[in-house]
Structure 1
Amino acid sequence: MEKPLEIAAFFIEVKMHNQGIFNSSVGNWLFVLGIPMAALHIGLFASTFNEWFELIFVANLWVLGYHHVIATYTRFESVSGSETRALLIKVPILIGIFVFTVYFAVGPIAIFTIYLYWQWFHYTRQSDGISRAIASKSQSKSICFDRFNRSLFYLASFCCFFWMCSRQGGTFLGQPYWVPHVGELVRFLVLVLGFVAIFIWVINIFRLKAPLEHIKFFFGYVFSHFLIYMCAYVYIDEFTYGWLVINIWHNAQYLAFVWLYNSRSSSRGDGPFTRLLYYLSRKSRWPIYFLFFLLVSTLLYKLIDFLIYQASASQVALWMATVYAVINFHHYVVDGRVWKLRRPIIQERLRLDV
């Protein structure tokens, strides 16, 4: 009876100062309950009261979505100068060539499909990285580096996504995407596999013999991850509404994590931007930090929209689809390069022991 009681105690324990990536219990609870519950409630509200969807969708893009893409570009000090130049010049050009080639050779359905499938991997990889950062603070190295459990984490996440994307006749924002043509039995078995993966993940956590006192924040975070994926991709039967849930969760999570990283900089840097970032990132100035980057992201995206309309008013849909695909795909590539937990500067900033 001791283990079940210890697990139940996790949900009412609030003294988590030493197990999370934040220095306060409020910040730690933000990742376990605050952001996931906010995303779920907002997404479920939008799916229930459809007349509110457009307003919530636009607010999410403006306050969180655009902002979180721009936040990526505050992170280049973790890579070399040559890699930074490649990421900012060569990579966008290559992605642009790829997107326009696919659009004209295959059609917009290919762009939407790549976007949705790549986005699933991007979201899952970010959450995996956060869970590993949390695990490295838990004094239990085994759960941080256990490849089998990480494989189960990705498998369960994929099974949820597969359930949604294999639903026949599905659309995203009114646009079709390629659907795996499988029978309902196969879809059901894949979903069952996802639940089995979660169950084995829990069993394996205890098999690794990590004290619950050390891993309860990690345990809670990963469960919130599974809850989000189950609700967004399984419980909600419309891809657009499910996407809204997981997009709000991902964007808010990313913004909080980037701010945490920037707030722990101990150097003002040499350039004007790094000095400004250092000034804005002090913990007492977090409202100014978010308002500043919200303003920057708003101005940049408004400029992009203006240029698109000026370039070709008759081909707005084409340019919107391709330009925003290039921006998002570039964000996925850059994010995968600058966030590497093995990089010493990231370990130092986040105070990790990996």
Structure 2
Amino acid sequence: MVNNIAIEKAKTSKIHEVDFDNLSFGSVYTDHMLVCDYKNGEWEAPKIVPYQPITLDPSAKIFHYGQSIFEGMKAYKDDDGKVFLFRPLENFKRLNKSAERLAIPQLPESFFMDGLHALIQLESDWIPTNAGSSLYIRPFIFASGTGFHASPANEYKFIIACAPSGSYFSGKVKVLIEETYSRAANGGVGYAKAGGNYAGQFYPTKLAADKGYQQVIWTDDNAHEYIEEAGAMNVFVRINDTLMTAPTNDRILDGITRKSILDIAKDEGIKTEVRKISVHELVEAAKNGSLKEMFGAGTAAVVSPISGFGYHGEEYELPELKDSYASMLKKRITDIQYNRAEDKFGWRYPVE
């Protein structure tokens, strides 16, 4: 354990300047952040300091070779004011999995968990209580060491910053099945939560937006034959009463919401399949009426329903369902997150 994490409190708080009834996602930041530096071959003790800009040398390797990873998670407050996280150890494990792939030093569990706990305790007043609101938490690590030579850095910085955010709801989205560009490749870094993965998505997503779509459905890097992810989220497909998602591999992020949905679906008695889903199968199911639902799954929105998709210049609309799997699964997850229901899985983590 990291005992007595050093805390430098902000001289004044910004909290009274914030309109908690009108919060956009991830654009207002709390008073403090956790900072931890890797120097001389080891991680130094984490500390909490006032939220502030970072000064870096122009030769810092983050700017040149992209050693940057991050996580996304949330803190929730129930009706009694108690604070909870959702499966934070999974975020820690995935952060270190990403770190290993990008040759970044592994972070000790106690630095992550104890530092996170101390920061959320300090910033608990920033957790909004409006329906659907939460405190978005962004842990990230990047190369701060200097040098123009192409090699891993010798210094890194781990930071946790927080942003109170309102209910994340964008309505149903229309997606375009990608036939040219790839999100990731076999043997690559698709399974890591690396910043560069997201940078590479922006251009194809812009091209899709120019055609009237909100997101793309990524397909495999070889023949673009199998669907893999929906924008920056894992994707689920319901054909008749079977809920399906692609298996994780080098190209697909092992989403925490994805795993939670699979467990809850099984608990509800829903038939699930984790297997390759071909574009041809999806199109045929849309044509014969057996395609009932598609939705993205991730931390920000939990579940993001898909209203239809485009492929080869054709449009395919999905039916409007009164009792959808998407709405049921989202409710079950959020009821656990906000301490409104029993947590039979042990996912809720109290911050006391």
Q: Smaller-chain TM-score range? A: under 0.3
Structure with more of its chain in strand, by fraction: 2
Query: TM-score, normalised to structure 2's length?
Result: 0.27
Higher relative contact order (CA 8 A, sep 6+): 1
Query: TM-score, normalised to structure 1's length?
Result: 0.27
